Amino acid sequence: MFGRAGSFSTMMVNVTDLSNVIPAQTGRSWRSTKHAAEYLLLRGLVGLLHILPLDFGSWAMGSLWRLVAPRLRRHDRALRHLAAAYPTKSAAEIDTLARAMWMDLGRTFAESLMVDRIVKAGRVEDASGPLIEAVKASGKGVVFVSLHTGNWELVVIPTVTNGIKVAGVYQRMKNPKVDDYVALVRRDRYPRGLFVKGADVGKKLLRIVRGGGAIALLADLRDRNGLSVPFFDRPAPSTTFPALLARGSDALLVAARVIRTHGVRFRIEAEILDIPRTDDRNADVDAATHLTHQLFEKWVREHPEQWMWAHRRWG
């Protein structure tokens, strides 16, 4: 899962370099065995986490990531990104932030397998209630956008508790067994459908929004073909898709975030973004995208240890 939401298989040993020396039939058998082993490991981890106390399971996984991740290649990338974003901080301060980030990501990985327990235990404070009520009363379609901060797996909980049926998009994982399980675990949070990222998903989402429905997207990752917007004073290629959907459908664009307040306790906040609606739709979309990432930067600066700095955001 390092660096990519929902990807469990990247924690396993990379064997793709053997593809040129293993016969095709043997290669398929190897992959099948590897996928089965990963799936069994995942289910075993899920079982263990559901036996352990909630706080301890989260802390233990976070501590493991904090120990292991600084020895991996992505730690250097996180250090570079943090140093560029905070040029006045010392190397020791940057390293402390990076290690705190790995702790948060490790916690998030464990907690993503225990979302129902977290919600049932009353660990999620919904500070978006009045806004959600206004969204429902508007009768318009809604595009929710969020970022990889706190525990982003929880960001749609207010829509579930307030009866807003949301559709979502996710990146299919290489391991089909793990992919099926993770999609099943998330299904109840996305009653309008959880779609695999692909060429035709845009049309599906557009139909939902134009019909007055709601979709939820994570929009803070790098998009190679996206709009270059300033993010921590550096140009960052960013997706215009959420703004395009909202502007083209006369829908609301709502930014939401999850804040880890302490341990396995969270607060969810949201605000409606003001989309320009002039005669120049492209300019409106660009402006709304800039506005989205200005807010994202503000949020990240408030809790920098809770954002995913190891992702290749700028390059």
**pLDDT tens, position by position, 160-202:** 998 899 999 988 888 889 889 988 888 889 999 999 888 788 8
Note whether residue 171 is domain-resident.
yes
More reliable by pLDDT, 12 or 122: 122
257 three-class SS: strand
What is the C-alpha to C-alpha distance for residues 113 and 70, in angstroms, rounded to an integer?
A: 23
Whether residue 13 has pLDDT greater than 50: no
Lowest mean pLDDT among 4-8, 67-71, 155-159, 268-272: 4-8
Which of the four pLDDT bands, split at 50, 70 and 90, describes residue 24?
low
Task: State whether 92 and 129 are in the same domain.
Answer: no
Closest CA to 151 of 46, 269, 260: 260
Same domain, 111 and 140: no
Domain final position from 66, 83, 116: 116
Distance between CA atoms of 258 and 151, rounded to whole angstroms?
Answer: 6
Backbone angles phi, psi at 14, to 5 degrees: -80, 120
Q: Do 144 and 101 belong together in one domain?
A: no
- Backbone phi, psi, residue 212, to 5°: 90, 10
Residues 109 and 205 in one domain: no
267 within a domain of the structure (yes/no): yes
Distance CA 250, CA 228 (A): 24
Both 275 and 152 in one domain: the answer is yes
Chain centroid offset of residue 305 CA? 15
313 lies in some domain: no
Cα separation, 160 vs 157, whole angstroms: 5
Give 3-state DSSP helix, strand, coil % of the chain, rounded to 5: 55, 20, 30
Q: Is 311 within a domain?
A: no
> Within this chain, do residues 261 and 154 fall inside the same structural domain, yes or no?
yes
Cβ contact 196:170 at 8 Å:
yes
Residue 296, in any domain of the structure: yes
Residues 238-286 pLDDT 10s:
999 999 999 999 999 999 999 999 999 999 999 999 999 999 999 999 9
Domain limit, last residue, from 57, 88, 116 = 116
Decide if 227 is inside a domain: yes
136: which 2 tokens?
């429902």
Mark which of 97, 116, 135 sits at the end of a domain: 116
Identify the weakest region by mean pLDDT among 25-34, 63-72, 139-148, 265-274: 25-34
Distance between CA atoms of 163 and 152, rounded to whole angstroms?
19
Domain region containing 294 = 123-306
AA letter at 119: V
Task: Show the tokens assigned to 205.
Answer: 């989402």
Closest CA to 64 of 133, 2, 151: 2
Total number of domains in the chain:
2
The letter for the amino acid at 262 is H
Residue 70 lies in a domain: yes
Kindly report the backbone phi and psi dihedral angles of residue 4, in degrees, each rounded to the nearest multiple of 5, phi listed first. -135, 125
The pLDDT of 123-151, averaged and rounded, is 92
Q: Is 186 domain-assigned?
A: yes
Report the C-alpha gap between 143 and 141 in whole angstroms: 7
Residues 161 and 220 in one domain: yes
Same domain, 173 and 207: yes
Rounded Cα distance between 19 and 95, Å, is 37
Q: Tokens 């990501």 belong to which residue?
A: 105
Task: Give the β-pairing of 193-196 and 166-170.
Answer: parallel
Cα dist. 61→16, 69, 70, 113 in Å?
27, 12, 15, 12
Q: Which two tokens stand for residue 265?
A: 């306790």
Do 102 and 194 lie in one domain? The reply is no
Same domain, 82 and 173: no
Domain shared by 145 and 280, yes or no = yes
Residues 110 and 146 placed together within one structural domain of the fold: no
d(CA 75, CA 16): 22
Mean pLDDT for 38-61 is: 95
pLDDT of 23: 56
